[in-house]
Amino acid sequence: MSRDNNISKGLLIGFLTGGIVGAAIALLYAPKSGKELRGDIKAKADEYMNDAEAHLEVAKEKAVEIINDGKKKGEKLISEAKVKADELLKETEKIFDQAKQKTTDVVSSSKETITEESSRLKTAFKAGMDAYKDSKIS
């Protein structure tokens, strides 16, 4: 886009410069008096200044449009990024909750297994002690 803008500027400047130089040469070689020639040069210079001002005004308007479009696109990208971030955050929370639930299930299951094994070990130890006491008494 910048390259097209530079080409347009170059063409505009080239046309204006060529027009001014061509008009000046034409006026200088025209068979007119000095006073008429100066008047014609002044009229042409005013005409070219008005044209340049008009082109400058159009360029300013286009620049404002481009800036506004850029702002709108930037705001849209930011909005879309926020939506994506919120979606990712929700998905992450969901995965975290699932992992937390699985961990809780595994811990509960392991706790039950340890409690059962501990109880069996206590019972076996008690039975062993009872058997030892019985054998010592006999």
The full 3-state SS of 64-79, as one line of letters, equals: HHHHHHHHHHHHHHHH
Q: What is the pTM of this model?
A: 0.44
HEC-encoded secondary structure of 4-46: HHHHHHHHHHHHHHHHHHHHHHHHHHCCCCHHHHHHHHHHHHH
- pLDDT tens for the chain, 138 residues: list them: 566 677 777 777 887 788 888 877 776 776 666 777 778 778 888 888 888 888 889 988 998 999 999 999 999 999 999 999 999 999 999 999 999 999 888 888 888 888 888 888 888 888 888 888 878 776
Residue 30 phi, psi (nearest 5): -75, 145
**H/E run at residue 86:** helix 34-137
- The pair of three-digit structure tokens given for residue 49, joined into one six-digit string: 């200044």
